[in-house]
Amino acid sequence: MRKFVLTGLVAATAAFALVAYAQDIPETAVIDGCADAKAPVEFPHKAHLEVTDCTTCHHKSEGLTLETAASMEVKTCVSCHGEPEDAETPLCSAKSLKKNPYHITCVGCHKTMKKEAKAAGTEFGAPTKCTACHPKAE
């Protein structure tokens, strides 16, 4: 009985900690560090926690998870891709689908998921076209 209560207490504490960490994660994030010709992009950050790992985007933050986020420095994309030190690092001000890190990662993943959904006979509504993420400037 004692083990059962202790296990339940540990599980409840872990669940509470996860909820607390999740509350610190922004619902949306505005990606504006490289915005020049196009409008900044409003990114549904929390929604992506359900479909991918943190390190998919924050690939330089080794060990980053929902549980470790509060205790780690999490760099923005522009901190590495704004003025890359390495010539092979994609530059976030590049417009090309093959040279911009957001376009490579985001659009690439969305196209893959859309293709998989179509093959499964379902819908996948994530954006793959420029104006879906970059609204026209007013």
Render pLDDT for 54-106 as a digit per residue (tens, 0 to 9). Answer: 999 999 899 999 889 889 988 888 888 988 888 889 988 888 888 888 889 99
- Domain span at residue 41? 27-133
- The pTM score is 0.70
Other residues' Cβ atoms within 10 Å of the Cβ of residue 107: 19
Pick from 27, 30, 33: nearest CA to 49:
27
**Structural domains of the chain, count:** 1
Which alpha helices (DSSP H) does 58-107 contain, by range? 77-81, 101-102
State residue 7's pLDDT score. Answer: 41
**Predicted pLDDT at 74:** 87
Average pLDDT over every residue of 43-49: 90
CATH of the domain at 87: 3.90.10.10
Going by C-alpha positions, the residue among 129, 132, 131, 106 that lies closest to residue 51 is 106
Bridge partner residues of 43 (DSSP): 29
Query: Does residue 54 or residue 4 have the better pLDDT?
Result: 54
pLDDT digits (tens, 9 = 90+) for 68-82: 988 998 888 888 898
Q: What is the mean pLDDT of residues 44-60?
A: 90
| 120 located within any domain | yes
* Residue 17 reports pLDDT greater than 90: no
Whether residue 38 lies inside any domain: the answer is yes
Q: CB–CB of 67/17 below 8 Å? A: yes
